[in-house]
A and B are shown apart, each in its own frame.
Chain A
Amino acid sequence: MVAYNKFYAFVQDIAQGVHNLSTNALTYALTPTANPPVATNSVLSNITQIANYTNMSSRVPTIASCTQTGLTITQSTTSSLPFQFVVLYNATPANGNLISWWDYGSAVTLQAGDTFAIQPDQTNGILQIQ
């Protein structure tokens, strides 16, 4: 299981009503080894994503895939660009406010037919607010 890393701005964004985690469109971004996210990043433009997501299936999880089923990204043809970090952000606000990230531990390049499954804890989901 890979450690959850919080962006500092997420708590403030929650307090200021930026996020509605029940209805907003959350999305996973992928970043390369050379550009790891840092906790002080706050919006999507602060992180360096891989240059394109060509031929990659949806990176938009549903409520169910954030809590139980997980999301599997499939590369249909050609190869993806290498990535290592998975970043969760909220695509509904114009800035794409960042929520959290996880480190896969090594770079992955998906070739045609390869898959990358993003599996939350099936009991507690991605995030618990207590």
Chain B
Amino acid sequence: MILKVAASDLPWLNFEWHPDDHRLYVLKSPPNGSGVAVATPFLEDVNTEHEAKQGINAFIAGYKEQASEPDVRTGIRRAQHHTIILDTGILGAHHGS
């Protein structure tokens, strides 16, 4: 069974571990939530769910570290892009929102 993991504070990133081919995939969606996610394998020979979660955590840590560092060529800080995805409020006789 494919293991699916979301990155809670990076809503445009999701991960899948495919036990059949022992690969970890990152699925990247456009930051505004629309459009098609692109899946890219980034780690091979992943044999257990534990290894998969370790790989995902390492990916997220590296992603965040790289995003906050200055550009390696120019030394200029990269712009940061934050996204908050809002849940819908339901207002009505049978709803509590």
Contact = CB atoms under 8 A, between A and B. Distances in A.
A102 B81 contact: no
Chain B's interface size range is 20 to 34
Given A1-B11, A69-B32, A128 B82 contact: no
A119 B85 contact: yes
B4 to A, nearest CB: 16
B84 A2 contact: yes
A12 B80 CA distance: 39
Interface stretch (A41-49, A90-98, A108-116): A108-116
B88 A128 contact: yes
For B83, B89, B91, B94, which residue has the most chain A Cβ atoms within 10 angstroms?
A: B89
Contacts of A11: 91
Interface in B16-51: 31-34
Contacts of B91: 6, 10-11, 14, 127-130
A116 to B, nearest CB: 5
Given A70-B32, A111-B77, A130-B92, A119 B83 contact: yes
Nearest to A117: B83
21 contacts: A2-B85, A2-B86, A4-B86, A4-B87, A10-B91, A69-B32, A104-B84, A112-B79, A114-B79, A114-B82, A116-B82, A116-B83, A117-B32, A117-B82, A117-B84, A119-B84, A121-B88, A128-B91, A130-B90, A130-B91, A130-B95
Interface of B: 9, 11, 31-34, 77, 79-95, 97
